[in-house]
Structure 1
């Protein structure tokens, strides 16, 4: 898979998944703008890319504002002359259950994840249009945005919203040849180390120890296991793939379904509360959807 001549931005690329995406894009031949609020960590990523023979520069904006998004795109154009790929990975966690969540924590998470995806996606799409289209928007979702994730009110709302942006932007940008997709990653990173069942596995992964085969089959792996999907979606080979949410982790890859109606009834004159109560047990109750997370032992609900 070759990305020679392409220019990519990866937000939140100082460590973890974002770092893996940036390094994989660079290894495939793309020039990469490595964004992270922690500039020292971003510089680590850039040095590792350059040591491997790749091309990358640092950008230190705090993701969320229009000004930060515009600065990212400007950096790509100033350094490399264009922009072809935007990977919106930056995020923060402020985990609290609903009754304990305060406004500041909720606003910070939504501002970084959801608003940051919006502003970076918009800035990139404007640049793609100026160049004649055919860009790649790769928005990073989460299993937490696809199903229940206890204690992650702001995070789940943001990640679910990001997948909503994918479907809408795919429709809006189709004529220009720009594709828009969500990656739903699962990886053993510091972000999931707070889950007791996974803490030891994260420590082993950081020491470079292999992940057991049975764990990998459940969808738990390293950030590098996710990065190949980002490279594919950034490539010309993925020109026909848009509007999708694709999950990947360990040895598993999967396409998530879009929401769809599972039970529909039409009643002349409409539905009163009594009519709904009468019909519900037989007509609708059998079709109610599971709302709890999949029962995969130790499956992370975070990024």
Structure 2
């Protein structure tokens, strides 16, 4: 499906990023594996090489223009071109609003949001220089779609990334470059702290079966989400852009775009008294849910 394509996958030394890199290599792509952990990145490269694929490691922390240029330049130098940029790299500083420090906030946004911005910009500039219909695949999160208690900075970054998907899809449309977000839901270390899921994460990492109820709810292995990344990177998805697709377990789903759910008009505008009089009847029955649905925790505590 990706034969002859060249991809960069940031944050691909382990977890979801590694699954994306390995899946793209299995589909025929040559891959630049990126991580700040050299041992993890080289381990991913070895796994790809051992399976008959082609990959190189570029060890750099994303977030700066220089790092983004290094990744794109490495792809071109090693493999002659760039066709796909997957912006997966990220860090967590999980704290509620009151406890989030300036450094926590800046660290998470620098990696997730600025890293996405700089890598996407470098990739699009390369796509335009090649006159090729490239693919930007940004990595979102349910935390950017609904509330995620204790993840102030992470939610901010992931919600912003979804906004970039829509804007960049419009800007890149005439060049044939597609821009989409994958919203993965997998049993990785990032969800291990959710009550009831710690044992399920341990099962997934050990290769043990995952509870069918969790899989049906959208929680599986990183490989489940990787299939969607490969599809969006391929020629078959040339008509798909500006979308947010969640993937995990037995489930894939398309997220809607925000839109008005109720509206009213008053000639000459609104004063406070009129808003107070009409707001309840107009809006309160249509208030939107902000909390996510809880994942079903198996009665065994996570083990199937």
In 2, Cα distance between equivalents of 1:91 and 1:215: 24
Which residue pairs with 2:155 in the alignment? 156
In 1, Cα distance between equivalents of 2:275 and 2:156: 29
Which residue pairs with 1:243 in the alignment? 242
| Runs of 5+ unmatched residues, structure 1 | none
What is the CA deviation profile of residues 233-291 of structure 1, one whole-angstrom value per residue up to 9, with x for unaligned ones? 00000000000000010001100000000001110010111111000111111111111
Q: CA deviation at 1:194?
A: 2.0
Is this contact kept in 1: 2:28–2:53, CA < 8 A? yes
Tell me if 1:180 matches 2:179. yes
| 2:196 counterpart SS class | helix
Is this contact kept in 1: 2:214–2:295, CA < 8 A? no
In 1, Cα distance between equivalents of 2:29 and 2:21: 9
Return the TM-score normalized by structure 2. 0.97
Moved more, 254-263 or 188-197: 188-197
Which residue pairs with 1:130 in the alignment? 129
Q: CA deviation at 1:298?
A: 4.9
In 2, Cα distance between equivalents of 1:199 and 1:184: 21
What is the CA deviation profile of residues 97-133 of structure 1, one whole-angstrom value per residue up to 9, with x for unaligned ones? 0011100011000000000000000000000000113
In 2, Cα distance between equivalents of 1:221 and 1:30: 24
| 1:266 counterpart SS class | coil
Which residue pairs with 1:211 in the alignment? 210
How much is the aligned-residue C-alpha RMSD, in angstroms? Answer: 1.0
| 2:150 counterpart SS class | coil
Is this contact kept in 1: 2:12–2:33, CA < 8 A? yes
In 2, Cα distance between equivalents of 1:97 and 1:138: 29
Which residue pairs with 2:35 in the alignment? 36
Return the TM-score normalized by structure 1. 0.97
In 1, Cα distance between equivalents of 2:297 and 2:161: 25
| 1:197 counterpart SS class | coil
Q: CA deviation at 1:197?
A: 0.9
Q: CA deviation at 1:144?
A: 0.3
